[in-house]
Structure 1
Amino acid sequence: MIRLNQSHVKSVFIVLVLGLGIKIGHAQDFSQSKPFWDRVSFGGGLDLGFGNQTFNIAVSPSALYHLNEKLAMGAGISFNYAKFQSSKLYAYGGTLMTFYNPIRPLQLSAEFEQLRVNQRYEYLGANFEDDYWSPALFLGVGYSTRNVTIGLKYNVLYDDVDSIYASPLIPFVRVYF
């Protein structure tokens, strides 16, 4: 397993932002022709999970700024709560995202998420607490129809010990208005 430290995470993020700067330069005609609020979309996600002695809820509102018809960038916040047999997990933080539609139904995405994780669990009759930061860099592809995108994203920084996700590959549904 490849371990990336904070400097690697920052480097990957900087490369993504700089790479997108080239595309932003082509967005000026679109951005000047529409008022600011006509270029903003709001949306996000609401997740619920139930299982054998488990429960999970996640709320993730976000906003996107459309630089042109193909490129949008935005930010969001996240809150996750999970309860398993003898443990509870709270995770909260933020996300920076970029969506690119090279053709109408195809959406490519890059999302950098930084979550603060607070986990409390019981093991052999003793109570334990674990607090840490959990970064994720998702690269995704999806099928878009108007306001909805359905697809898969892959966490390139996935860590099977500290990640709050069960797998680096995650299906998603995005809705923006």
Structure 2
Amino acid sequence: MRSISVKIVIKTFLLVLVFGIFSKIYGQTDLAVKQKSNFWKQVQFGGGFGLNIGTGFTDVTLAPNAIYNLNQYLALGAGLQGSIVSQKDYYSSAIYGVNTIVLINPVEEVQLSIELEQVRVNNTFRNPTTGIVKDNFWNTGLFVGGGYRMENVTMGMRYNLLFNKDKNVYADAMMPFIRVYF
């Protein structure tokens, strides 16, 4: 009689242990799914697209970005960018790279930003007298900016603190921007 009760206790104990382990695993899986869904609720996607076509001139830019909103005042993000620019029989350029961004919203209507950009620039110039000249270099930009924010759109200006007129992708250190995040 006693051996039957010990077997029943052991079987009951093992049954409770197995169900306890499975419920704990299921509970953690459920928690991980909840945490994941909360993470993605804080992520916004956006970026830029540019297209400029003229007589013998083409400029196409694609720059997707994603930001993570830490709270209503601060967001961190990263993105890719690429551009192809060409002037028929004279110039072509391929520009590609990455960027990171910090967005600060001290009040709802104002957005301040700090952006770090690293791009590779591959320029080719065609000249009838000197032939083909290549100018390939890395360009780093450190931008500080500010803008007026209306929900998910911000319009403003940014300034490149590392601007070098001799080796730069941009014609000027100051440039306007429009940011859209969904």
TM-score (norm 2): 0.75
Aligned partners of 1:105, 1:49: CA distance in 2, in Å?
Answer: 30
* Structure 1 residue 52, shift from structure 2 partner: 6.0
Deviates more, 1:61-70 or 1:120-129: 120-129
Which letter maps to 1:148? V
Which letter maps to 2:136? D
Residue 105 of structure 2 corresponds to residue 101 of structure 1: yes
* Structure 1 residue 129, shift from structure 2 partner: 1.3
Q: Deviations over 1:59-103 (max 9, x none)?
A: 100100001101000000000111135010000000010000000
* Structure 1 residue 166, shift from structure 2 partner: 1.4
SS at match of 2:162: coil
In structure 2, the partner of 1:36 is 39
Residue 65 of structure 2 corresponds to residue 79 of structure 1: no
Which letter maps to 1:117? V
How many corresponding residue pairs?
145
Aligned partners of 1:87, 1:78: CA distance in 2, in Å?
Answer: 20
- Match runs of 1:58-137 below 5 Å: 58-85=61-88, 86-123=90-127, 124-137=129-142
How much is the aligned-residue C-alpha RMSD, in angstroms? 1.6
Aligned partners of 1:152, 1:49: CA distance in 2, in Å?
Answer: 21
In structure 2, stretches of 5+ residues that fail to align are 1-34
In structure 1, the partner of 2:165 is 160
Q: Deviations over 1:87-124 (max 9, x none)?
A: 10000000010000000000000000000011111132
SS at match of 1:35: helix
Aligned partners of 1:142, 1:50: CA distance in 2, in Å?
Answer: 28
Which letter maps to 2:181? Y
Q: Which has the higher helix share?
A: 2
Q: Which has the larger radius of gyration?
A: 2
* Structure 1 residue 49, shift from structure 2 partner: 2.7
TM-score (norm 1): 0.77
* Structure 1 residue 53, shift from structure 2 partner: 4.2
Q: Deviations over 1:43-64 (max 9, x none)?
A: 0001223456432121100100
